[in-house]
Amino acid sequence: MRPAQRGQPRVAIFRSRFLPPSETFVRDQLERYRDVDALALADAVVPDGLRLVDRPVHLVDGAGLADRARSAALRLRGASERTKRDQRVARRLHRLDVDVLHAHFGPDAASVRGGAVQAGVPLVATFHGFDATVDFAHFVSAGGSQAQMVEDWSLLTQDVSAFVAVSSHIKDSLVARGVPEQRISVVPCGIDVASFDPTPVPDHGGLLFVGRLVEKKGLADLLQALSTIGEPPPLTVIGDGPLREDLEQLARELGVSVSFVGTAGTSVVKEAIKAARLVVMPSRTAASGDSEGLPVVALEAQASGRPVLAYAHSGLRDAVLDGRTGILVPEADVGELGRALTSMLGDSEKLAEMGRAARERVAERFDISTTIADLEHIYREVAAPSGPRSTGSSAE
């Protein structure tokens, strides 16, 4: 771990479970901070999850014998589970000498809010998508930290020092739920653009879809759109999820050529992007209200020089510049999706032009060095003794 420099705020990055394989954006941010002393904090470590290269993951309940004795005393006094949880979080923050606590996802922010308040540590909360868009009734029925977020929503909006939204749509959703606009900063999950090698769009190749096989990713719409094309190109699907069997059956019924690869690592995804002529992201709002934040694969595709065809949905409207780096069609309009596929695949020169523009725009607006600087600015602001509670909108 890089040694902390005098005057740098110490920031604890919290995920309840550290770290699911899909959350490379949390790992990438944590490992690239330069002007803050960042550490990882969690309730548990995912057995086969992502690992950090140069630092350990600190556990909330890993503070030792003294804390276990205090917990026993609380039990004897009949303290509630919430009270005990808040005190454990507060003690851990004190022991780690944390200046700022940054929780990813709303339910995680709710789970550490009380401890942060008790410790006097400013809390920054990043909302990534579902946590700002799913209907509250759905969260209540889910129970656990999701229900706690709804129960404590007014306290969360009061006690969080700075809200971070990964797209302008997520910011709008938070405002609609009562979060003051001036306390929300828009900071997308950036990518290391230099690690993606832009290559020319191939003259021959297929389509690529990358994402979990769930309702909001819209793969069923893409399969139906492909079935309307006379000679549809082959489609590669990278990702897995509860709808896989249904989607495989739909592809067979529609007579569409699809290769379901399943979950794949970063290197496989990069090679698949290079082999594709076009990356398609038909994400749409699910019945529960669940929406995208800002899909990182849209940035990775464009960093590789590939145009993106997507619905004009949520953060995809931030990621894709319609007509310049890709095409956006009205959400859930399968007919328009099919017509856009035909048009784009029939114009190799336009695809190449879009691919070049896509690389340039992502490098300019979504490189992780830029988004890290934005986050570090937020940390310094909230850590200042008399600093403001937020920084406004920093990356729209």
Quick: pLDDT tens for 322-374.
Answer: 999 999 999 999 999 999 999 999 999 999 999 999 999 999 999 999 999 99
Q: Residue 351 belongs to what H/E stretch?
A: helix 348-365
In the predicted structure, residue 132 carries a pLDDT above the cut 60: yes
**Rounded distance between C-alpha atoms, residue 10 and residue 383, angstroms:** 9
**Rounded distance between C-alpha atoms, residue 139 and residue 129, angstroms:** 13
Token pair 């990055």: residue:
13
The alpha carbon of residue 302 and the mean position of all alpha carbons in its chain are separated, in whole angstroms, by 17
Mean pLDDT of the chain: 92
In the predicted structure, residue 79 carries a pLDDT above the cut 90: no
Residues, the chain: 396
pLDDT at 22: 84
> Model-level pTM?
0.88
Contacts of 240 (CB under 8 A, 6+ apart): 212, 213, 262, 263
Helices 106-119 and 144-151, axial angle in degrees (round to 10): 60
Token reading at 192: 């290391």
Contacts of 284 (CB under 8 A, 6+ apart): 216, 218, 221, 311, 313, 331, 332
Query: Residue 34 in contact with residue 4, Cβ under 8 Å?
Result: no
What percent of the residues of the chain are helix, what percent strand, and what percent coil, each to the nearest 5? Answer: 45, 15, 40
Q: How confident is the model at residue 392 (pLDDT cuts 50, 70, 90)?
A: very low
Q: Identify the CA nearest to 160 among candidates 110, 118, 87.
A: 110
- Average of pLDDT values for 94-118? 98
Q: Identify the CA nearest to 69 among candidates 49, 81, 87.
A: 87
Q: How confident is the model at residue 272 (pLDDT cuts 50, 70, 90)?
A: very high
The alpha carbon of residue 286 and the mean position of all alpha carbons in its chain are separated, in whole angstroms, by 17
CATH classification number, 193-365, choose in 1.20.210.10, 3.30.2350.10, 1.10.10.10, 3.40.50.2000: 3.40.50.2000
Q: Which SS3 state, helix, strand or coil, does residue 95 take? A: helix
The alpha carbon of residue 157 and the mean position of all alpha carbons in its chain are separated, in whole angstroms, by 20
In the predicted structure, residue 36 carries a pLDDT above the cut 60: yes
- Average of pLDDT values for 158-170? 97
Q: Identify the CA nearest to 366 among candidates 276, 296, 314.
A: 296
In the predicted structure, residue 387 carries a pLDDT above the cut 60: no
60-69, 245-254, 350-359, range with the lowest pLDDT: 60-69
Peptide bond just before 19 cis, omega within 30 deg: yes
Name the CA dihedral angle for 27, 32, 36, 40, rounded to a multiple of 10 degrees: 20
**Rounded distance between C-alpha atoms, residue 151 and residue 135, angstroms:** 13
Strand partners, 308: 279, 326
**Rounded distance between C-alpha atoms, residue 101 and residue 183, angstroms:** 16
Q: Identify the CA nearest to 195 among candidates 133, 122, 269.
A: 269
What letter represents residue 127's amino acid? F
CATH number assigned to the domain covering 10-190+367-383: 3.40.50.2000
What are the distances in angstroms from CA 85 to CA 70, 78, 158, 304, 372? 12, 13, 20, 45, 30
Q: What residue spans define the domains of the chain?
A: 10-190+367-383, 193-365
**Rounded distance between C-alpha atoms, residue 184 and residue 95, angstroms:** 29
What are the distances in angstroms from CA 121 to CA 16, 96, 137? 18, 12, 30
Query: Residue 185 in contact with residue 394, Cβ under 8 Å?
Result: yes
Q: What percent of the chain has pLDDT over 90?
A: 86
pLDDT at 393: 37
